[in-house]
Amino acid sequence: MAAGQAVAGNVGANERFEYTAIGEPVNEAARLCELAKSFPGRLLASSETLAGASESVRAQWCLGDSTLLRGLGQPTRLATPIETAELGRVCLM
């Protein structure tokens, strides 16, 4: 999961419109989906996304390591749901 400003709408020529979403959070979400395939539970969120969530939602996630996702300039700190978190992670409070 990723959050942020994005643009969604029809893109293309009159002969061929395609509905799509464009923006950094869209790219981040796509990279997190790729990476999640190698994690238990197959669900990841960025810590930045969780920072905007309610306290009760944040309490259900544990922070992990940071990683540089393809196409993004800054490392992304990963978060996993508590029920699938690996040992040694720092849980959000």
Architecture of domain 7-91: 2-Layer Sandwich (3.30)
> Is residue 52 predicted with pLDDT exceeding 70?
yes
Contacts of 8 (CB under 8 A, 6+ apart): 19, 20, 21, 22
Q: In angstroms, how far is CA 65 from the centroid of its own chain?
A: 14
What is the chain's mean pLDDT, rounded? 87
At 93, the pLDDT band (50, 70, 90 cuts) reads very low
Provide the pairing of β-strand 61-67 with 76-81.
antiparallel
Average pLDDT over residues 47-54: 93
At 67, the pLDDT band (50, 70, 90 cuts) reads very high
> Is residue 87 predicted with pLDDT exceeding 90?
no
